[in-house]
Amino acid sequence: MTLRKTGIDKEKSAQIVLAARKDQELREQSYRGQALKLFPWLCGRCGREFTHKNLAELTVHHKNHDHDDNPADGSNWELLCLYCHDNEHQRYEEMRYGSGMTQKSTTQTATHNPFANLKDLLKK
Ligand SMILES: [Zn+2]
Ligand SMILES: [Zn+2]
């Protein structure tokens, strides 16, 4: 124990982290539990079916990607297997990245491309 000096702070922050994690776990459990009650146990993308045995691989996806948005009617939830869930988030990131690019580059694209070409031409 070399970090005894910060013991209290560490303990405190550990408690906060623990509490936050517990909170999140509870929230996750509650919306997951609700979603599993609401929907049939199958992946909304690939249609894979789930039982108690492999239920851990069935995850709750938030359609609007806001994990704090948990309407009781399940309108923001979608049950997805781990793989499809990963895919879904990848697509979302790409979409977000893509739209961010177009938003920023409304003026940039016009100037960016010719410059890039110029640079390439100069290099050659
Ligand atoms: Zn799937
Ligand atoms: Zn998700």
For the chain, how long is the longest CA-to-CA vector? 64
Ligand found nearest the CA of 59: 2
The verdict on residue 119 lying in a domain is no
The verdict on residue 114 lying in a domain is no
Find, among 50, 51, 37, the residue nearest to 85 by Cα.
50
Give the domain CATH number at 28: 3.40.1800
For residue 104, how many other CB atoms are within 10 A of its CB? 10
Number of domains in the chain: 1
For residue 45, how many other CB atoms are within 10 A of its CB? 16
Query: Cα(first)–Cα(last) distance of the chain, in Å?
Result: 61
The verdict on residue 2 lying in a domain is no
The verdict on residue 73 lying in a domain is yes
Spell out the per-residue pLDDT of the chain, length 124, in tens.
555 666 678 899 999 999 998 888 887 778 999 999 999 999 999 999 999 999 999 999 999 999 999 999 999 999 999 999 999 999 999 988 886 555 444 444 444 555 566 666 666 5
Domain containing residue 13: 7-104
The verdict on residue 27 lying in a domain is yes
Question: How far apart, in whole angstroms, are the C-alpha atoms of residue 57 and residue 27?
Answer: 18
Q: What is the 8-class DSSP label of residue 58?
A: E
- Per-residue pLDDT at 7: 66
Name the residues around ion ligand 1, CB cutoff 5 A.
Answer: 43, 45-46, 48, 81, 84
The verdict on residue 44 lying in a domain is yes
**Distance in Å, CA 84 to ligand 1 centroid:** 4
The verdict on residue 19 lying in a domain is yes
- Per-residue pLDDT at 108: 45
- Per-residue pLDDT at 106: 47
Which pTM was predicted?
A: 0.59
Ligand found nearest the CA of 63: 2
The secondary element (H helix, E strand) that includes residue 81 is: strand 77-81
φ/ψ (deg, to 5) at 2: -90, -15
